[in-house]
Amino acid sequence: MTESAYYESMGVFFNGADADAYAGALEQAGIPFDVEYIMPEDSDDVFLAVEIFVKKSAAEPARQIKEDIIRATLDNPDVYLHHITDEDLRDIPLHPEDANDFDYWAALELIKRKGLPLENRDWENFRQERLLEMMEKRVPKSSGLFPLALFIWILGGVTALFTYKTMPYVAALLFLGSLIIGRHMQKAEFTEKERKQGKMIFGLSILSLIAVVVAGLVAGGE
């Protein structure tokens, strides 16, 4: 869902606890909401953040709830924002990775209350761009090995079909190659989707390797 004539975004949440707290407050107030998961371009296994939407007609009370949570954060004397220097406080907008969602928004509000100088920019947009960029770098990227492994396995199957009596071990070598790639793809450095693909190729390659070796042995004994 994107912001439209009917729905309005209440913010992007990178911290699960903060998102749950806000969603719970909306639910308690009887305000229906929708959640959109923000995912990396090349992965559907993980999400980087969630964006919470409400209908335009409920935007004002939903926004007020968010402001109340921020205000409650600032009214808590134990919150660390009250125990750091003004210089460190002004540094928080520049380093959103060091603060939770509501702490970040509370820091901006506290800077405003104190009248501290701060560069004029869209800090919320800056926060989202910086955190998404940082989090995407930590997400395993698609290696592209699956199409290669699948091609080698198919080539092995075609080779086995036509040459298992004369050159069975050519196909066996191809199946061994797809097996090795499939085994490699099951490492933690790959995405969950690729690990599943690697497991599938690995299993198919083992079965195919056994089949072609047995067929070659039988053909050789004839």
- Bridge partners for 50 per DSSP: 13, 37
Q: What is the pLDDT of residue 192?
A: 76
DSSP class of residue 85 equals: -
Tokens representing residue 80 in the block? 């660390």
The model's confidence at residue 167, banded by pLDDT at 50, 70 and 90, is low
When pLDDT is averaged across residues 102-126 and rounded to a whole number, the result is 92
User: Which region, left, alpha or beta, applies to residue 100 given φ > 0 means left and ψ of -120 to 50 means alpha?
Assistant: beta
| Highest averaged pLDDT of the listed ranges 164-168, 194-198, 211-215 | 194-198
Kind of pairing between the strands at 7-13 and 34-38? unpaired
109 close to 70: Cβ distance less than 8 angstroms? yes
% of the chain surpassing 70 pLDDT: 87
% of the chain surpassing 90 pLDDT: 41
Long-range Cβ contacts of 198-206 (<8 Å, 24+ apart): 198/145, 198/146, 198/149, 201/146, 201/149, 201/150, 201/153, 204/153, 204/178, 205/153, 205/156, 205/175, 205/176, 205/178, 205/179, 206/179
- 10 closest CA partner among 91, 81, 105, 100: 105
149: exposed, middle or buried (C-beta count within 10 Å: 0-12, 13-18, 19+)?
buried
> Which residue type does 183 have?
R
The model's confidence at residue 9, banded by pLDDT at 50, 70 and 90, is very high
Could you tell me the CA-to-CA distances from 201 to 157, 158, 176, 195 in Å, in that order? 13, 16, 11, 10
The model's confidence at residue 119, banded by pLDDT at 50, 70 and 90, is confident
What average pLDDT does the chain have? 85
> In this predicted model, what pLDDT tens digit does every residue of 37-70 receive, in sequence order?
887 765 656 678 889 999 999 999 999 999 999 9
The model's confidence at residue 168, banded by pLDDT at 50, 70 and 90, is low
When pLDDT is averaged across residues 18-22 and rounded to a whole number, the result is 92
- pLDDT over 80 at 154, yes or no: yes
Q: What is the pLDDT of residue 216?
A: 66
When pLDDT is averaged across residues 78-84 and rounded to a whole number, the result is 90
- CA-CA-CA-CA torsion sign (143, 147, 152, 153): positive
- pLDDT over 80 at 138, yes or no: no
54 close to 7: Cβ distance less than 8 angstroms? yes
Q: What is the pLDDT of residue 190?
A: 78
Q: What is the pLDDT of residue 134?
A: 80
- pLDDT over 60 at 194, yes or no: yes
In 10 A of CB 162, how many CB atoms?
A: 10
Q: What is the pLDDT of residue 2?
A: 55
* Gyration radius of the chain over CA positions: 28
- pLDDT over 60 at 3, yes or no: no
